[in-house]
Every structure is written in structure tokens, then in C-alpha cells.
Amino acid sequence: MTADILKQKMADLSAKVTSMPPQEALALLAQEFEGKIILSTSFSWEDQVISHMVLSQNLPIKIFTLDTGRLFGETYYVWSRTNEMYNTHIEAFYPNATLLEEFVTEKGPNAFYDSVENRKSCCYIRKVEPLQRALSGNELWITGLRAEHSPERSDLPMIEFDETNSIIKFHPLLHWSTDDLRAFINQNGIPYNTLHDKGFVSIGCAPCTRAIMPGDDFRAGRWWWEDKTSKECGLHAHS
């Protein structure tokens, strides 16, 4: 579909899906975008909840993850446990080997600490470019974005059009609280990343993520050595 047709289809569905419980909305969208709907997971609380909703209903929604090569061991454990529990195979997308080899050879393995430019280059190679490949050919992208994550996301619509990737984005848990997530995970016995129990709320690459203190901003544990205004990786450029 062209971008204009996708935008019209999004407008037609918007009121309906935003008033539905997430499970029902996902089922409807799986029908409307058959074969062209995809969920990205980093195995966070949010993504595990959505994956459960998809896999427990056997919805025809593809699930993928971006393996940057520098994830926590706990993240790989949740990935394996999720595959086992739901008898599934979450697809992995990896950095372009040539781009990564050139970057690390020229800049060094920890160059992201040296400058914002280096860090964003590293994020682009390890995350953004693989994401573009993962989304290619699809029409709707399901994410775990929540309004509670940051002030910038407080006014985010539940369904929107991503101009950068020319795809519709749907955020089924946009208005859920962290307590809502914990309760759903406990009620359904969903595997989750135990780093969440140690103060890690936003979990990415191991060298770039640390625990936060009570009262800290949700994103305070990501790229903590940088100025606050630069704390994005490009996956959700305007979010």
C-alpha cells in the first residue's frame, strides 16, 4: 500500500482500536493487516505483555528482536524462556557486519562513550539499520511505548503514522502504568527480565544501561553520561 492509503486505513481504524482492550485490538489488526503486521520486542515488561497477548491467542503477527551483540545475559535468558514457553521462534535481526566491523576498527569497541556522535553512529549500526530491514514490507508495527516513559510521550496517540519508515505504529499499552504491567505479568506467569527487579526500568545494551534510583526519570539509566537532551537512539525518532 502507498503511504496515503495506509494513512486513510489508519484513520478508519483509529477510533475502533483505541476504544478496544489491547487483546481485541491486536486480533482485529492481525486480520486487517494479514501478513504485514509485526511486533518488535526488546523483552521488556511491555513487550513481554504484548507478546503474551499475541502468542496466547495464536495471532498471525510476526515477532522480531534486534540483537545488537551487546545485550545483557538476562535479556538472552528471557528470549530463550519465551521461545520455550510459547513454543515459538522470535526472529533476530543483527547489525550489518561490514558497517560494524568498520566502526569498531576505526573508533574502538567502546567509542560510544567518547561523543554523542559516536554513540548515535553505534545505535544506528546496531539498532536503526536492522530495524529498517525488519520493518521492510510490513504495514503495521506494534510497539511497547507507554506515556509514562517520558513527558514527550504523554500526548502520543495510540495509533500513528511513522513517516520515517512509512508504516503505521500501534502502541496498545500506551496508557498502562508500571503497576498494571506487573500485575498482568504476575497473573499470567509471563517470563520477564529480572533486571527490572534491580532498578533497571529501560533495558538496552549492557554498556549503555544502568539501574536508576527511586524518583529518577524513566530514561535516566540510558546513556547516563550524556546531556539529557540527546537521550534517543533513533528507533522512535519523534517519540
| 3 state DSSP class of 83 | helix
Side by side, the strands of the sheet bearing 159-162 are: 91-93, 62-66, 37-40, 140-142, 167-170, 159-162
Query: CA geometry: angle at 178 spanning 129 and 73, to 5°?
Result: 50
How far apart are alpha carbons 143 and 203 in whole angstroms?
15
From 122, 123, 208, 233, active-site residue: 233
Q: Is 122 a catalytic residue?
A: no
Beta bridge partners of 39: 63, 142
Which residues partner with 170 through β-bridges?
142, 159
Closest CA to 42 of 238, 211, 200: 200
C-alpha torsion 168→179→202→45, nearest 10: -60
Q: Which residues are catalytic?
A: 233
